[in-house]
Amino acid sequence: MTARNVADILSDIETLLVLHGEDEFRSRAFGRAARALETTQIDLQQAAQQGGIIGIPGIGKGLAPEVMEILETGTSATLQGLKAQTPPGLMDILQVRGLGAKKVRALWHQLGVTTLGELEYACVENRVAGLAGFGQKSQEKILAGIQDVKKRRGKLRLDAATTLAEALLPQLRQIPSVERAEISGRLRRGYEEIEVLAFVLQSNAPEEVEQGLAAVAGVTDVARRGNVILAKFDGEIKLRIDVADAAHFVVALHQRSGASDYTTMLSIPLEHHGYELTEDELLRDGAPVPLETEDQLFRLAGVQFIPVELREGIDEIRRAVDGTIPRLIQMEDLQGVMHVHSTWSDGQNSIQQLADHAKLLGYRYLLLCDHSKAAFYANGLDEKRLAAQAKEIDEVNKRFNPAEFRVLKGIECDILADGSMDLSDDALASLDGVVASIHSNFNLPPEAQTERLCRALEHRYVTMLGHPTGRLILSRTGYNPDLRQVILTAARHGKSIELNANPHRLDLSWRMIRFAIRKGVKIAINPDAHSLEGFNVVRYGITIGRKGWLRKEDVLNAMSADEFLAASAAMRSKG
């Protein structure tokens, strides 16, 4: 259990204590501890072993036993007890944007609302608007929020779907009669949101697979129709299992992994070469053609191999026929890691720890980008603290051979409401790179947000635009700027745009990455890491980058440190 894991549980306890009207001093204590642990660099497990939990910011004598229980068991009896007293539907209502625990308590106790459906009906009947602290506009926002929750229900972000699928895969492979099992569907293609976890299993006995699947922990509602098995995991996540024998496995995996337009389009060059591609098999003169790999299928079609991330039915078949699908970006192409936060703002680790970890992972440089002063909630840096941080970076760099690794000086600078930068030009000029991002005033009209982003990109010292739409997948749609105009502005001023690899964001999306690279805009694949574990999300950025047809030469941090510094200097020279 990391400090952030513990913080999440303490935050949930705070929410439920407020929901149940418990002592305000007690609920605040849990909240303060949660917020303190979110940014601590202390190793809680190590501190616990050394008997040093008490005294860590936010943890006093009262909370120490709670934290120890969470560290030892991974859960909390307090949290479980509160959940047992809470109507399950209230947990759904708490997901409605803008409804905190106090407001949900009011809806519960004053209107008797305990489910999303009851809340929606109360809004339709105009009963919510009449409650103190709500009003007509609040009621309209709640109705919109309910629809958002409904859309998200049963969906998983790419990271959660990947984690769950990779945990289920070995269990599927252990089912008797299963010879092979692979992930398929949208997850294999790297979609940001997943509604169904799909797998293809090789077996001659679908009925045995059905029985084996029913025995997997957490799997329920198992039903088979022929060679297709449907089920649910944890009561909500949909599973689809296609079962195929050895002669049909490769075709089944291919057909269940590509978009329908893609599979239809691939059948055309196959037909030109005398083959028929069906849902389950490849035929020639009516006889099945066994395949050992997907690569064989493309060779028989006379086309270039198409990476699975591209199989959407857009133009990849034509490109494969022409042999013009490029080598896509790979993890090993990245030389630098950018947009990383330290304890100077809201990160959990020191600059030295971040540098050591980045070097251990094989990176050649790290662009440190703590928050600027407008992000006061994240302990953002003003000009004076930024200068002090630069001195620490200089000291850290003395421990490295610059030809092997170095820390570069950067900032994630807030874009203010009018599009200006949060720090002075002199401060920004002292840095190696500047990520300009929006963290406030989300409710400006799209036209104003577009103008705001474009003005930021016109700033001489801005290197790249961070998470350009502000979306949070399955949580927030973002501020909806005209991305084409933003990208054209970036191209005109020679600036880059971030592909924020955090699976909550994955912003810029793969759909707009294609447009950006056609306009010559370089993309930076950044983790936006606030901890050492945060570096791990780069894998999702690579997936989305490949889906957007990114090549090594399109990626800013695939450059060497010297190349990046030269590119940054060139951007400034245009100001």
Question: What secondary structure letter does DSSP report for 327?
Answer: P
The C-alpha angle with vertex 400 and arms to 398 and 404, in degrees rounded to 5, equals 145
**Taking 90 as the threshold, does the pLDDT of residue 283 lie above it?**
yes
Count Cβ atoms within 10 A of the Cβ of residue 307 and give its class: 0-12 exposed, 13-18 middle, 19 or more buried: middle
**Taking 90 as the threshold, does the pLDDT of residue 558 lie above it?**
yes
Residues with Cβ < 8 Å from 420, sequence gap 6 or more? Answer: 455, 456, 459
Band (pLDDT 50/70/90 cuts) for residue 443 is confident
Amino acid at 252: A
**Taking 80 as the threshold, does the pLDDT of residue 125 lie above it?**
no
* Confidence at residue 1, expressed as pLDDT on a 0 to 100 scale: 63
**Beta-bridge partners for 401:** none
The architecture of the domain spanning 156-246 is 2-Layer Sandwich (3.30)
The answer to whether 408 and 385 are in contact (CB under 8 A) is no
* Confidence at residue 345, expressed as pLDDT on a 0 to 100 scale: 92
**CA-CA distance, 290 to 284, in Å (whole number)?**
10
Count Cβ atoms within 10 A of the Cβ of residue 16 and give its class: 0-12 exposed, 13-18 middle, 19 or more buried: buried
Band (pLDDT 50/70/90 cuts) for residue 208 is very high
Read off the pLDDT of each residue in 186-203 and give the average, rounded to a whole number: 97
Please choose, from the candidates 506, 419, 413, the residue with its C-alpha nearest in 3D space to the C-alpha of residue 463.
413
Band (pLDDT 50/70/90 cuts) for residue 547 is very high
* Confidence at residue 173, expressed as pLDDT on a 0 to 100 scale: 97
Read off the pLDDT of each residue in 139-167 and give the average, rounded to a whole number: 88
Read off the pLDDT of each residue in 8-35 and give the average, rounded to a whole number: 90
Mean pLDDT of the chain: 93
Helix (H) or strand (E) holding 196: strand 196-202
Read off the pLDDT of each residue in 363-374 and give the average, rounded to a whole number: 97
Ranking 89-93, 125-129, 279-283 by mean pLDDT, the lowest is 125-129
Phi-psi region of 534 (alpha: psi -120 to 50; beta: other; left: phi over 0): alpha
**CA-CA distance, 189 to 182, in Å (whole number)?**
13
Percent of the chain with pLDDT over 70: 97
Please choose, from the candidates 496, 538, 187, the residue with its C-alpha nearest in 3D space to the C-alpha of residue 329.
538
* Confidence at residue 50, expressed as pLDDT on a 0 to 100 scale: 64
* Confidence at residue 201, expressed as pLDDT on a 0 to 100 scale: 98
pTM of the model: 0.82
**Beta-bridge partners for 338:** 367
**CA-CA distance, 546 to 520, in Å (whole number)?**
17
Band (pLDDT 50/70/90 cuts) for residue 39 is low
Helix (H) or strand (E) holding 21: none
The architecture of the domain spanning 3-151 is Orthogonal Bundle (1.10)
**Taking 80 as the threshold, does the pLDDT of residue 253 lie above it?**
yes
Give the end-to-end CA distance of the chain in Å, rounded to a whole number: 47
525-538 pLDDT tens trace? 999 998 899 999 99
Residue given tokens 């955090």 in the structure block: 502
User: Which parts of 398-537 fold into alpha helices (H)?
Assistant: 425-429, 446-458, 483-492, 510-518
**CA-CA distance, 367 to 338, in Å (whole number)?**
5
**CA-CA distance, 499 to 157, in Å (whole number)?**
16
Residue given tokens 């294999």 in the structure block: 188
| 276-277: strand order across its sheet | 276-277, 282-284, 287-288
The answer to whether 540 and 161 are in contact (CB under 8 A) is no
Band (pLDDT 50/70/90 cuts) for residue 67 is confident
Band (pLDDT 50/70/90 cuts) for residue 251 is very high
- Superfamily the domain 257-322 falls into: DNA polymerase, thumb domain (3.30.210.10)
**CA-CA distance, 307 to 316, in Å (whole number)?**
9
Pick the CATH number of 331-573 from 3.40.50.300, 1.20.1740.10, 3.40.50.2300, 3.20.20.140: 3.20.20.140
Residue given tokens 């409401």 in the structure block: 417
**Taking 80 as the threshold, does the pLDDT of residue 121 lie above it?**
no
Cα-Cα-Cα-Cα torsion 501, 502, 505, 508, nearest 10 degrees, comes to -10
**Taking 60 as the threshold, does the pLDDT of residue 575 lie above it?**
no
Report domain extents, the chain: 3-151, 156-246, 257-322, 331-573
Bigger pLDDT: 404 or 348? 404
Helix (H, G, I), strand (E, B) or coil at 169: helix
Rg (CA), the chain: 26
Read off the pLDDT of each residue in 39-53 and give the average, rounded to a whole number: 69
**CA-CA distance, 469 to 463, in Å (whole number)?**
17
* Confidence at residue 434, expressed as pLDDT on a 0 to 100 scale: 98
**Taking 90 as the threshold, does the pLDDT of residue 178 lie above it?**
yes
Please choose, from the candidates 95, 91, 90, 29, the residue with its C-alpha nearest in 3D space to the C-alpha of residue 64.
29
Handedness of CA 19, 21, 26, 29 (dihedral sign): positive
* Confidence at residue 52, expressed as pLDDT on a 0 to 100 scale: 67
